[in-house]
Amino acid sequence: MEIFGRPLSAMLSQLLLGLVNGSFYAILSLGLAVIFGLLNVINFAHGALFMLGAVLAWMGLEYLGVNYWVMLFAAPLIVALLGIVIERLFLKRIYKLDHLYGLLLTLGLTLVIEGVLRSFYGVSGLPYSAPEALSGATDLGFMVLPNYRAWVVLASLVVCVGTWYVIERTKLGAYLRAGTENPRLVEAFGVNVPLMVTLTYGFGVALAAFAGVLAAPVIQISPLMGQNLIIVVFAVVVIGGMGSILGSILTGLGLGIIEGFTKVFYPEASSTVVFVIMAIVLLFRPAGLFGKEK
């Protein structure tokens, strides 16, 4: 069967690949949005911490023989601890300054993290294979579904929806949203806002590391793997606007799918299509699809 002169099976497999990339965009832009909401910092280091998650998964297997499933929880935890240290040591001291210093500081941290790992592992890819339970593929009749990719999409959706639920439907989330609105007032009600800020940053970067572990078997692991991704995620954030959690998830997934289709129809543009969409959205809805004009 063919659609617009392209075989359906090729389209479906690109659609799935797009969904996989879209899942990473969704988790990463979600983390960026949560962090920006409370800290007013655009976390450039998000890409580097995503990479760190993947490298930790590799290190766990290589040095300690710890398998994928353990690292899927251990790596985000380690990165969250690192994030907490970063927040307490550095970010905490610059909240009062212009936003641009937050971006520059996290850019510096990105270069440091990447530089350290580069001096150990170089820039070539480190091999990492999917766990045995998820290797292989399922034949659905109309297409062959690689199990691991299906797992990535499923796991990302669960994490994204879970995050949305916690933030929008629980008491903890209510504190968080109130803190985003007016931190001083929330503090006056006896909520420990600085602690909440620290933990939020830890949680946001843990999301990035979780995506990194998920990505480890499907993307070449290298110290530079987060660099290009974070710039695309910035574009995703501009397109979606950082106002809504659900908005970041939908935008991330949608752009991944569009990117996948671009690979089928016009592969030359697949690396730029997200940026083109960003430009178009800026012309018609400067605040982003889900953003509110201040």
Partner 1 sequence: MVNKQFLGYALLLLALIAAPFLGAYPILVIKLLCFALFASAFNLLLGFTGFLSFGHAAFLGSAGYAAGHVMKVWGWTPELGLLAGMVAGAALGGLFGLFAIRRQGIYFSMITLALAQMFFFFCLQAPFTGGEDGLQGVPRGKLFGLLDLSSDLVMYYVGLVIVVAAFLLIVRTVHSPFGQILKAIKENEPRAISLGYDTNRFKLIAFMISAGLSGLAGALKTEVLGFATLSDVHWSMSGSVILMTLVGGLGTLSGPLVGAAVVIALENKLGEVGNWIAAVSGIEWFKSLGESVSLVTGLIFVVCVMAFRRGIMGEIIALRDRLRAKR
Of residues 107, 145, 155, 246, which one binds partner 1 by CB under 8 A? 107
Query: Does 103 help bind partner 1 (rule: CB under 8 A)?
Result: yes
- Of the listed pieces 114-122, 140-148, 172-180, 250-258, which binds partner 1 according to CB under 8 A? 114-122
Query: Does 278 help bind partner 1 (rule: CB under 8 A)?
Result: yes
In degrees and rounded to multiples of 5, residue 3 shows phi and psi of -125, 125
Least Cα distance to 217 among 138, 119, 150 occurs for 150
* Residue 84 or 104 having the CB closest to partner 1: 104
Site residues for partner 1, window 116-145 (CB under 8 A)?
A: 116, 118-119
* Residue 128 or 201 having the CB closest to partner 1: 201
Helices 245-265, 225-240: inter-axial angle, 10-degree rounding: 120
* Residue 12 or 113 having the CB closest to partner 1: 113
Contacts for 86 with CB less than 8 Å, ≥ 6 apart: 45, 109, 201, 205
Site string for partner 1, 20-59 (x = CB under 8 A): ----------------x-----x-----------------
Q: Residue 279 Cβ, how far from partner 1 at the closest point, in Å? A: 5
Of residues 84, 111, 134, 258, which one binds partner 1 by CB under 8 A? 111
Whether 245 and 170 have beta carbons less than 8 Å apart is answered as no
Q: Rounded to an integer, what distance in angstroms lies between the CA atom of residue 150 and that of residue 46?
A: 24
Of residues 97, 144, 174, 185, which one binds partner 1 by CB under 8 A? 97
Which contiguous run of DSSP H or E holds residue 7? strand 6-7
Q: Residue 32 Cβ, how far from partner 1 at the closest point, in Å? A: 10
Query: Does 110 help bind partner 1 (rule: CB under 8 A)?
Result: yes
Site residues for partner 1, window 167-226 (CB under 8 A)?
A: none
Q: Rounded to an integer, what distance in angstroms lies between the CA atom of residue 287 and that of residue 135?
A: 42
Q: Rounded to an integer, what distance in angstroms lies between the CA atom of residue 88 and that of residue 93?
A: 8
Query: Does 94 help bind partner 1 (rule: CB under 8 A)?
Result: yes
* Residue 195 or 283 having the CB closest to partner 1: 283
Alpha carbons within 13 angstroms on the beta-carbon side of residue 245 total: 21
Bridge partners of 146, per DSSP, are: 137
C-alpha distances (whole Å) from 144 to each of 153, 155, 187 are 16, 20, 54
Judged by the rule CB under 8 A, the positions of this chain that interact with partner 1 are 36, 42, 90, 93-94, 97-105, 107-116, 118-119, 227-228, 231-232, 234-235, 237-238, 268, 271-272, 274-276, 278-279, 282-283, 286-287
